[in-house]
Structure 1
Amino acid sequence: MPANRLSMRKIKDVLRLKWANHLSDRKIAQSCNISRPAVADYVDRAERAGLSWPLPDTLTDAELERLLFPTLTKSSARDRVPPDLLKIHQELQKKNVTLFLLWQEYREQHPKGYQYSWFCDQYRHWLGSRDLSMRQTHRAGEKLFVDYAGHTLPVIDPRTGEIRTAQIFVAVLGASNYTYAEATWSQSLPDWIGSHQRCFTFLGGVPELVVPDYVPGNI
């Protein structure tokens, strides 16, 4: 679905809940998962555009977007601040963060900034270029990537109730993504070497290269 249609659908929900259901900005914000200032901004824009509920059946999403976010003049276009795409990408890794939410925050900081459809298109273009530049080609059996997982695993002794924390060793073949994983009590050198030995036995051979993201501190 095009990005501008997604944003217009959200805004239509805001207007419907405000004008037809007479909900408060706070309840609308909770229902639509957006901020209260964004709710107030959309309603204000719609009122200034002379709109009312229900919206005309002939009003397309593109026309609604032009009414709510009129095109900036050439002089004001120079004042538009482009979004920090790397920062957006980093924020999207957080729980419950969406492009729509980040665009709202961007427009709150830069009221003369770009519209949502342009915002999404630029991010996706940047992401596609980034993925292409980072893409690697692996030959079968060439590389084995090894590391410890970021999460540990609690192990409970059924006799004593004692809880010990296990480390998770992970190895992935580059060409096939075939994965081996096991739990050890530590990330010490003996466990590190032992995990490699058991991994090679499991795979039935050794790769040309082992590429670690982790090296025990006492090596």
Structure 2
Amino acid sequence: MSNKTIEMSKIRQVLRCYASGYGTKSLSDMLGLYRNTIEKYLHLYQKSGLSMEEILRMDDSCLHSFFQEKTKPKEVVSARCKTLQTLLPEYAKRLKKKGVSRQMLHAEYLADYPDGYRRSRFCACLQEYMSTSRPAAHLEHKVGDKMFIDYAGDKQGSLVKVCKYT
């Protein structure tokens, strides 16, 4: 139910009851709204500088546009974020190779870009990139009709050597 718009009559009721001296907790119980929602509408009312009568005289469409959340400004992408974004495809490809770790990639990244992101942010960006660029195929099949072999992991020859010595 997040970001569900409420009726304008409820907003008017919130404002009237608040002007009568009710607190946000009692308004929440009485009207069946979340306290944070009530506080958001009260904050917008107080920030506007308009009187209670002016707001209550507004028709529903004006009141809706008045209390509707404004769109957030676009994020400004920093230079180091752009730099990391260009490096991520190569890092993701190299991470698939045996013996390459995120820590090694981060150390290399910091050697080239000393003012770059620290390890936690670097790994988060890398994980986000890998999750969006990893395609998955769903195979429809009849049970017992075909056999699928997964060749991921170590080769069988290396497993046999490990088993012999243990």
Indicate the TM-score class for this superposition, using the shorter chain for normalisation: 0.3 to 0.5
Larger Rg: 2
TM-score (normalizing by structure 1): 0.29
TM normalised by structure 2 equals: 0.37
More strand as a share of residues: 1
Higher relative contact order (CA 8 A, sep 6+): 1
